[in-house]
Amino acid sequence: MEKLLKLLVVNQSNFIHFIRISIFIVMAWIGGLKAFQYEADGIVPFVANSPFMSFFYSKDAPEYQDYKNPEGKTVQKNVDWHKANNTYIFSYALGTVIIVIGTLTLLGIWFSKIGVLGGLLTFGMSLVTLSFLVTTPEVYVPNLVGDFPTPQFGFPYLSGAGRLVLKDIIMMAAGLIVASDCAARILAKQKSPVEARVLV
């Protein structure tokens, strides 16, 4: 048991690098998917209902509810609506930003100052994503009614979309961890010449 504990301690910096790599994989993959129609359509409820992002679209919520393309299905009138809404242009830009943030975070392995920026941007992006839990109706199970009254709907019953959003709290914490690690490395480099002079 003691060997395991020592192994974990010795490899702490490697584990923090692993967090950076994990953030990059998530950001690059999800950011890359923003270039595709189904993913661009899928983020519309989040953006359209957000007071921080809705101005990027030309249509008002909840009009998008009449033009949803289910994943794996393409309906031309829905695609035309999304083009007029700026859905795809915004998605391309957002995907680029996400990939850039992931890359900055990954570069923190070698460049501490860049890593601080990447970590803080990861934290900020996650904070915005978590705000969807307040602004987006689709993150909670709807009361669609059936053969009997729906027993679980609304807060705190997260839908599939809501469960995906909630996971960003892990990304938020990870962003702070990698940023603080880079900050510690920067401060250590700044202190070392002073300490060397004291020792002399």
Express each pLDDT in 70-81 by its tens digit. Answer: 888 889 999 999
Q: Is 141 left (phi over 0), alpha (psi -120 to 50) or beta?
A: beta
Query: Which residues in the chain come in under a pLDDT of 70?
Result: 192-200
Q: What is the pLDDT of residue 193?
A: 59
Q: What is the rounded CA–CA span in Å between residue 184 and residue 190?
A: 10
Express each pLDDT in 105-140 by its tens digit. Answer: 999 999 999 999 999 999 999 999 999 999 999 999
| pTM assigned to the model | 0.90
